[in-house]
Structure formats: structure tokens, C-alpha cells
Chains A and B, each alone.
Chain A
Amino acid sequence: MSESTKSNHESFLEYKGKYRGILGWILSTDHKRIGLLYLYTMLVFFSVAAILGLLMKIQLIAPGHTIMGPATYNAMFTMHGIIMIFIIVVPGLPAVFGNFFLPLMIGAKDVAFPKLNLASWWIYVIGILIVLTSQFMGDGPPDTGWTFYAPYSFQTPANIVPALVGAFVLGFSSILTGINFVVTIHRLRAPGMKWLKMPLFPWTLYATAWIQILATPVIGITLLLTVMERTLGVGIFDPALGGDPILYQHLFWIYSHPAVYIMILPGMGVISEILPVFSRKRIYGYKAIVLSSLAIAFVGYFVWGHHMFTSGMSGRALFAFSFLTFLVAIPSAIKVFNWVATMYKGSLIFQTPFFWAVSFVFVFMIGGFSGLTLGSLATNVHLHDTHFVVAHFHFIVFGGTGFSFLAALHYWFPKMFGRMFDASWANMGWLIFFAGFLALYLPMFYLGIMGMPRRYYDYLPEFHGANILSSLGAILMIGGALIIIVNLVRSSRYGEKTNDKNPWGGKTLEWQADTPPTLENWEDIPEVTEKPYEYK
């Protein structure tokens, strides 16, 4: 059998190319293998950051010193944030599921630049290694929080520079993935797949890719300027040298707020894929969802100031940013309306991906509404830098991106591995995780309103009860996460084998490809005649 024929019959998991063993993975330019490389890397670092988070919650189970002192606590929340944001949720869905499924969903054999795609993963790994070195060098781990705010980030003796340089390098990986996806979507869509016949997950990847390309350089430059500030004392952000620390916050959030949309938009795409399939109904308002994705990407650029309401901006800027923040809630609400309308009178199928999808909608709503509370100028002054903010962004970032990530993993698992997961364990894992999640983060809203500040290792005795509940929630959630991870890892090796191309009854192109897909995905590139989600 010739090489190209072989590649069209063997699954990508079995295909043996130029390199064997682990080299066949880490040097592979196949988009599916690269997607799995990202998945495995993230799984390792998610476990590390989740353990750091759990240790922080154990510290907070009682007032005073329980298992760590203030310096260790500061280092813990900094590392937890850096890993979770820069290594897990920003690359998250695009790097894993975008890489794996974008070409399959638009009928392409690979992304536009496969070698660049592999380079992106390598740059990602190099960035992680640089970040990790900050933990083991002489002056102690970073303690600034993942935001590296000036002027503390160039005053602290801790190892800030490697963390900044690592985050800078990670940004390149993100930009290159964004460029790859934009070109892939423009150039490699299957014949007949006009823009408005493209499924919604690729649409959200497209909107996200533009944010990755346009916003990431800003954080790169900002982090580099901070390195220069620390090492050369150039005086851009340091008020002692005539610099402006609020400029740092502007530049930081010009990237980091759109980055929230890098995290959440692909998650919204995943939910828009799952709900029609498990409702056996056409998605409600396809065009509205597409336009709202683009609107979120665009308006999301101009709301960064709501992170800085108490930083000393001008009154007019406060008003403008508050108004824009309320504006960006509209396209998000359009999506929620469309998801609920899609389920309305549908033939609902209660399986694991559906559970994750509806729980996403639930937690995203709570996250969204609490976001409006923070976007309002008067309440923000009271709630700024309290546990309310921590609860809000975990509902959005973890509840949004994390839930949609797990929804995607369960939904596409059979296609990725050619095996089914154990549904009973998966459902139990979801239930425990969901209950733990609510018990962990809901009390934080209360704590924040009552005035408990974030980033403190200690608290007043009146906050004890809610903190106990929150810490127990963390333990419960980690238990659920363990069940989910063990079940999926075990199922990927020993789960029931399936060659069923379409186990859930999906209508998008990836369900026409082999399970698991062959190296080049398609024997013949499919021709698209219908819109996606055409359930009769």
C-alpha cells in the first residue's frame, strides 16, 4: 500500500509516519495530534494549578495560619493565576478543540500552515518552561498576582522577569494559532461551505483568532516594558521616575479583557454545537449567534476600563467604560436567548455533553449578571478587590471555559479516541463537580458583599462559616474532577471501541469523517449543500 493510501485508511492514532513513538507525536504536523498534545499538556498543568487552588482553599478553611503563611499564599495565588490564565484557559479551547476539529468541521485536510501549528505548540512548551523557572531561581517565586501590576512588579525582590518573559513567549503561540485559524477559515473551507453555512464553533474560533492576533501583541509589549522597567529602570510605569502606573493597567487590560473573550467565545461555540444535537432541533437564530460572536469580539475590545474603576481614571472615562460594559452584555444575552429557544420544544436527550452544556448556560448566566453588578460604577467601588470579583470571574472563566471545555471533551471524545466513555461515571463526575463548583464559589459572592478582600491569607472571624462551606466545596469539586479525569483517561485506553461515525446524531461535517479520523481526514473533500443543524 502506498503512503498516501495508507494515510487514508489508518486512523491518525495508528498512523506511523517518518518518526515512531513519542517523536511521532511531538514532531507531528497533523492537526489532530497537535490538538491532543495541547490537551495532554494542559491536563498536567491544570492538575498542578488545581492543587494550588485547593491548598489555598484549605488555608482559608479557618482564620489565621492553617497550612501556610502570607508569602506562600501570595506565591500560590500568583502561580495559580499564571498557569490557569496563560497556560490553560487562554489557549484552551482553540488550541485543543480548534486544532482537532476546525479542519474536520470545514471539510479541510489540515490547517493552512501545519508546520507553523507544530511550532506554536513548541513555543507554548518553551513558554511554560520559562514560566516554571521562576519557581526555582534564587529570589523566590513571583508574588504579584497574574496581573503583574506596576509599580509592585518592579519593586518586589521575587523572580518576576522569568514569569514575564514566559508569558511573553506564550503570547507568540497564541498569535500564531490565531493567524493559522484565520487563514484556514478563509482559504480551506469545503466547496459549497459559504460563510453562512459554516458551523458555529468555527465562527467563534474565527472571532477569537482575530482577538488573538490583534490584542496579544499589546500584552507582549507591556510585559516587555515591565522587564525593561525592572532591569533598566526606564521609567514608563514607575511614578518615581515620572512614569504612570495607570498606563500599565490600561495596556494590561487592553489585552486581558479581550482575552476573557478568547477564553469564552469558543466555549459559546461548543455550546452552540451541542444544544441543537441534543435537542434534535435546528439552532435558533443562527445569524444572530454569528453576529453576536463578532459583536462580542468587537465591543469586548473597548470595555477594559471596568477593571480600573477604582484606579484613578477620569470621571468621563469611568462613565464611558461602564456604558460599554453594559453594551457587551447584549450580544451575550442574545446567545443565551438563542440556546434556550433552541431547547424549547426540542426532543431533549439527557446525556453527559448535554448536562455540561446546560450547566454552562446556568453558571454563565450567574457570571454574566454578577459582571453587570461589577460594571455598575457605584457597586463596583464597594465590591472591587473583594471575593465577589473572585466568584464572578470563576463563574465566567472556570464556569464558562471550564464547563464548555468538559462539554466539548465528552461530546467529541468518541471521535477523538474511537472509544466511548463510561456514561454512568461521567454523569456522576458531572453532578459532583457541579455541586462542588456551586458550593465553592457561591459563598464567595456573599463574602465579597460582606467586605472580605481577595488575596489575603487571613480573615476576620465573622467570615468563617462561608469560608468553611467554600473550602468544602473545593474538596467536593476536586473529587468530581478526579472522577471525570480518571474516567476519560481510562476510557481512552479501555473504553468500548466504536467505529460509529456519528454516535450523537450530529449534522456538522466532523460527524461524516471516520471515527477516529484518518490522517488526512477525508478520502474525498466533502461538498456542502445544506446549512448546519438541519434537523427536520
Chain B
Amino acid sequence: MSQEKPHISSYRSHVFVLAALIVLTGISVAVTTLELGRLDTLVAMLIAGAKAGIVLVWFMHLKFDNKLYTIFTVLVIVVFLLVLYVTFFDYSYR
């Protein structure tokens, strides 16, 4: 099997990831003070999703890896979202 070229991330990109995670954590704390009603969970999930995305793409090197890994990651996220959708499909019609 062929070996892919290793990619070494720069300190700059690690600092970017750290800073983004700190800022987004601050935002997720800040939004708890707002009264968003039913959107509460959605907003929290969106911020958490953005944090997970940053970790996946830069910290875990998805951006620099074989595209196959991106495809599999996206497929897994799609399955996860479908499972969530099907579960809440029941709740929304009860």
C-alpha cells in the first residue's frame, strides 16, 4: 500500500484552533443568558458542532488527509443526523 506524505501542522494553526475554541466556549456561556425559548438547544448544538468541526478539520488533519476520510466522516455525520431526525420525528408528532 502506498504511504501518504505526512503533514505537520504549524504552531499558528494550533493557536488558531485554541483561540477559536476559547471564543466559542465564551459564546456558548454567553448565550445561556439569553431567552431563546425552543431555539436554546439548537443554538447550543450549533456552537458545539462548530467547535467539533474546527477540531476535526484542523486539529485532526482532515483538511490535509486523503479525501476518503472526509467522505467517511461526512457519511457518519449524515447517519448521526438522520438518527436524531428520526428520534425527534416521534417527539414532534406526539
Contact = CB atoms under 8 A, between A and B. Distances in A.
B87 A314 contact: no
A428 interface: no
A316 B90 CA distance: 7
B86 A302 contact: yes
Contact of A301 (B83, B90, B91, B93): B83
B76 interface: yes
A461 interface: no
A250 interface: yes
A406 B33 CA distance: 61
Interface string B55-94: 0000000000000000000001001101100110111111
B86 A315 contact: no
B1 A314 contact: no
Given A188-B1, A214-B76, A316 B93 contact: yes
A408 interface: no
Contacts of A315: 93
A320 B86 contact: yes
B25 to A, nearest CB: 22
Nearest to B1: A187
Contacts of B90: 246, 250, 305, 313-314, 316-317
B69 to A, nearest CB: 10
- Chain B contact-residue range equals 10 to 19
Given A314-B94, A316-B93, A317-B89, A301 B1 contact: no
B82 A301 contact: yes
Contacts of B89: 314, 316-317, 320
A187 B89 CA distance: 39
A222 to B, nearest CB: 12
A56 interface: no
A315 B93 CA distance: 8
A474 interface: no
A353 to B, nearest CB: 33
A484 interface: no
Contact of B79 (A246, A301, A305): A301
A450 to B, nearest CB: 31
Contacts of A188: 1
B86 A313 contact: no
Nearest to A254: B83
B94 A302 contact: no
A302 B83 contact: yes
A302 B93 contact: no
B87 A250 contact: yes
Contacts of A298: 79
Contact of B87 (A187, A254, A312, A316): A254
Nearest to A315: B93
A317 B87 CA distance: 9
Contacts of A246: 90
Contacts of A187: 1
Interface size class, chain A:
10 to 19
Contacts of B87: 250, 254
Contacts of A305: 86, 90
Contacts of A250: 87, 90
A150 to B, nearest CB: 16
A299 B86 CA distance: 12
Nearest to A191: B1
A354 to B, nearest CB: 36
A317 B76 contact: no
Nearest to A187: B1
A299 B84 CA distance: 15
A206 to B, nearest CB: 12
A314 B80 CA distance: 21
Interface in A171-206: 187-188
A214 B83 CA distance: 11
Contacts of A301: 79, 82-83
The winner among B80, B86, B91, B93 for most chain A CB atoms within 10 A is B86
B92 to A, nearest CB: 8
Residue among B86, B90, B93 with the highest chain A CB neighbour number at 10 A:
B90
A214 B94 contact: no
A305 B94 CA distance: 14
B83 A314 contact: no
Nearest to B85: A302
In the A-B complex, the 3 residue pairs with the closest CB atoms = A314-B93, A317-B90, A316-B93
Interface of A: 187-188, 214, 218, 246, 250, 254, 298, 301-302, 305, 312-317, 320
Interface of B: 1, 76, 79-80, 82-83, 86-87, 89-94
Given A218-B83, A302-B83, A317-B93, 19 more contacts: A187-B1, A188-B1, A214-B79, A214-B80, A246-B90, A250-B90, A254-B83, A298-B79, A301-B83, A302-B82, A313-B94, A314-B92, A314-B93, A314-B94, A315-B93, A317-B89, A317-B90, A320-B86, A320-B89
17 contacts: A188-B1, A214-B79, A214-B80, A246-B90, A250-B87, A301-B83, A302-B83, A313-B90, A313-B94, A314-B90, A314-B92, A314-B93, A315-B93, A316-B89, A316-B93, A317-B86, A320-B89
